[in-house]
Amino acid sequence: MTRMDAALPHGAATNRTRRPGIIAAWLLACCALVFCMVVVGGITRLTHSGLSIVEWQPLVGTLPPLGEAAWEETFAKYRLTPEYLQVNKGMTLEEFKGIFWWEYFHRLLGRLIGAAFLLPLVWFWWKGRVDRPLAWKLSGIFVLGGLQGALGWYMVRSGLVDDPRVAHERLAAHLGLAVLIFAAMFWLALELLREARGGAHGQGHRGPYRLALAIVWLVFLQILAGALVAGLRAGHAYNTFPLMNGALAPEGVMMLSPWYLNLLNNPATVQFDHRTLAWLLAVLVIGLWAACMRPRVPRDARAAAHLLLAAFAVQFLLGVYTLLHAVPVALGAAHQAGAMLVFTAALWQAHTLRRNRR
């Protein structure tokens, strides 16, 4: 240990103790958990399980009902909800358990992510592997995770009042925040991996990089649009492609007044926007792929371009197939997983083109 290292307070990271590769691996593992969380959340929505647990108990709710009496009490609370009274009246206890376990697993996975993030973070700090700038970034991600839990309950509450469906705008916000948390961890992991390799990354490519960043944000916007489609159940209408029941834009696409209400509340408009963004992304992804095939573009950027193009092509075709079959659970979950894969590929593509700022 050098004199400079010895003079630092306990918990202060140095170049020799930071071990960015290990921290990056931990963040990538957390990314994998968030990816699973998004997919399970999609299945929870598709199976109409999200309103089966009517209380938010961050600690006590870790344990499921134990024993027949506890199950009867939990089921009795659900029988007071609008979803039971208007949609599932007459449901048996065994049928209730079928939807309960999806929501329970969704919440349990959220708690697991919180523990998987916080406990190693505290350990890294204690061992002096997190300097102050990195600590602020990681703490910010943890705060976002806590807000995500509160936002999830805020979403669920909207379906426990009168209409037995969660508010679609809250659903989009809940999914959007999960995607942003994933992006923050994934990008930070890529930065740490670059640091572990010595920081070498070429000179960057301004034009392709800007296009890659635009694609990242458009994919994020497309995911939000998909959440609105799901929340409004717009995927169960206009199940034709490429036209929407014989028209580019169906009748009623601007039926609400003022006009901007259609962007959030009109199923026809929401699905039309989702389709339009898909076509726009198709053009931009192909254009970025062509730009990355130039000789001076680094090899990793070319690999990322191939991956992004392939992931987007599969996702586009999967989206069409899901729509034509009116969103069955398996296809809907696969489509949501595909969206996260495309987003991940877009982030990696942007990072490979980013100018090195040592």
State the DSSP string of 97-164.
HHHHHHHHHHHHHHHHHHHHHHHHHHHHHHTT---HHHHHHHHHHHHHHHHHHHHHHHHHHTTSSSSS
Give per-residue pLDDT as tens, 291-313: 999 888 888 999 999 999 999 99
Rounded to 5 degrees, φ, ψ at 298 are -60, 155
Q: Among 11, 333, 41, which Cα is nearest to 173's? A: 41
What's residue 199's pLDDT?
61
Output 242 or 10, whichever has higher pLDDT: 242
What are the domain boundaries of the chain? 15-200, 202-358
Give per-residue pLDDT as tens, 200-249: 555 566 778 999 999 999 999 999 999 999 999 999 999 999 999 889 98
Question: 90: left (phi > 0), else alpha (psi -120 to 50), else beta?
Answer: left
Question: 264: left (phi > 0), else alpha (psi -120 to 50), else beta?
Answer: alpha
The confidence band for 187, taking pLDDT boundaries of 50, 70 and 90, is very high
Contacts of 296 (CB under 8 A, 6+ apart): 205
The confidence band for 194, taking pLDDT boundaries of 50, 70 and 90, is confident
- Give me the residue label for tokens 């209408």: 237
What's residue 200's pLDDT?
52
Q: What is the pTM of this model?
A: 0.91
Whether 130 has a pLDDT exceeding 50, the answer reads: yes
What's residue 207's pLDDT?
79
What's residue 127's pLDDT?
86
> Across the chain, what does the average pLDDT equal?
89
Output 59 or 142, whichever has higher pLDDT: 142
Whether 357 has a pLDDT exceeding 80, the answer reads: no
